[in-house]
Structure 1
């Protein structure tokens, strides 16, 4: 990982919280964000000299960037930013409110966050941007069409930023963290297999970031699943 100061956006629970704990244990100073200020304070109280906090809702795009800029300033600058905030749900009934919420969170807010991070690192002269996407973004899903579509957007957006960094010869690493199933409340699929404990997922993510990888599959066996799923013939995919 580039540098020692990390912001993890969406760290009150699940993968984000576990990654924050791993990062602090490895000697990093970590800025954590989330909507639930009480939980942020509980995490920070465990090692108050290592954490900085900022409580805000990333879907409030009028105020999110001000909160992030304030957090970065309080930390004396940032070397890596991980976007862990996101959400999803199954939606076989195609309830538009469910889809709209995922679009607001996984597309609109996500875009604002990664654009700010990329621009911040460009001005700074380098840095490491990472975001948690999903293997679900490889193909469409009848159970969760909105979720798979928004994750496909994230995967492709990160790839575009990686290409942009290379074309402009910027010292910016862009990492796509692509999990399969991780044992968190967000894993709502009715069919689950190879479910990774959240602590194991966090350590694998940390190691992948430390090696500055472009793509990190969690767990590693999901690399094969992602490859097979991507190249699955349409006629077979439609019958699943």
Structure 2
């Protein structure tokens, strides 16, 4: 083993999709990675790729004590430099079924808040660190088809902006990155009319580049910033009829 410092990361939501692909990229770039998610078999399939570079903690972040689970995982890793929150949910809900909205908010708002607060406090106490959360371009405007999903992503976008302010005020090398994907070929991509659909591998590769540059906000794939700009500038009188 080299005497060089080995970077440690945690990926929350690593069982599939972008989180799974990012975990593989991090290990390929010499990170030791703690992976979490509900499905233990998928997490151990990652660990089997490189047993010395993966640590597994299987839990449901909507029902368990995230702070306790993450603290235990950090102790297993021997430290933490980077936390990536890639766990989210959302369904089309034209009928406004409250169970669907509640399930969305439990993960995208409640669990999200507990996790990013824990991470920020950990990095502030440590004096450095990088928090990355995957929100969505959907958070820029509301949606008649998925009200809670878009609203919860707007919450995430604004919460992360607040944490970036806190990081700046702390004057410590703490970085907070908001990743806003468009359509990615995962189970989260629902509905008709999808375009510019990226593979999870392509999305993860671009996200890793954003992480390396420590950008505050990143669109994935890159050209989705055009859609973001369009959404922000559409007049309300037009958007409400869409």
RCO higher in structure (CA 8 A, sep ≥6)? 1
SS in 1 for 2:190: coil
Match of 1:133 in 2: 135
Match of 1:114 in 2: 116
Question: In the alignment, does 2:55 pair up with 1:52?
Answer: yes
List aligned pairs for 1:80-95, cutoff 5 A: 80-95=82-97
Supply the distance in 1 between the matched residues of 2:194 and 2:165 (Cα, whole angstroms). 33
List aligned pairs for 1:155-234, cutoff 5 A: 155-234=157-236
Match of 1:11 in 2: 14
Q: Deviations over 1:173-231 (max 9, x none)?
A: 00001000000011112221100111000000001000100011000000111011011
Question: In the alignment, does 2:26 pair up with 1:23?
Answer: yes
**1:27 to partner: Cα distance:** 1.4
Supply the distance in 1 between the matched residues of 2:45 and 2:148 (Cα, whole angstroms). 33
Q: 1:144 pairs with 129, 143, 146, which one?
A: 146
Query: What are the ranges of 5 or more consecutive residues in structure 2 without an aligned counterpart?
Result: 1-5
Match of 1:34 in 2: 37
Provide runs of 4+ in structure 1 moved above 4 Å.
none
Match of 1:96 in 2: 98
Supply the distance in 1 between the matched residues of 2:92 and 2:166 (Cα, whole angstroms). 33
When normalised by structure 1's length, the TM-score is 0.97
Q: Deviations over 1:70-112 (max 9, x none)?
A: 1101101000000001111110000000000001010000000
Supply the distance in 2 between the matched residues of 1:200 and 1:67 (Cα, whole angstroms). 30
**1:135 to partner: Cα distance:** 0.3
- CA RMSD in angstroms comes to 1.2
**1:236 to partner: Cα distance:** 0.9
SS in 1 for 2:87: coil
SS in 1 for 2:26: helix
Match of 2:156 in 1: 154
**1:168 to partner: Cα distance:** 2.2
**1:28 to partner: Cα distance:** 1.1
SS in 2 for 1:122: helix
SS in 2 for 1:40: helix
Q: Matched residue pairs, number?
A: 238
Match of 1:72 in 2: 74
Match of 2:3 in 1: none
Supply the distance in 2 between the matched residues of 1:239 and 1:64 (Cα, whole angstroms). 40
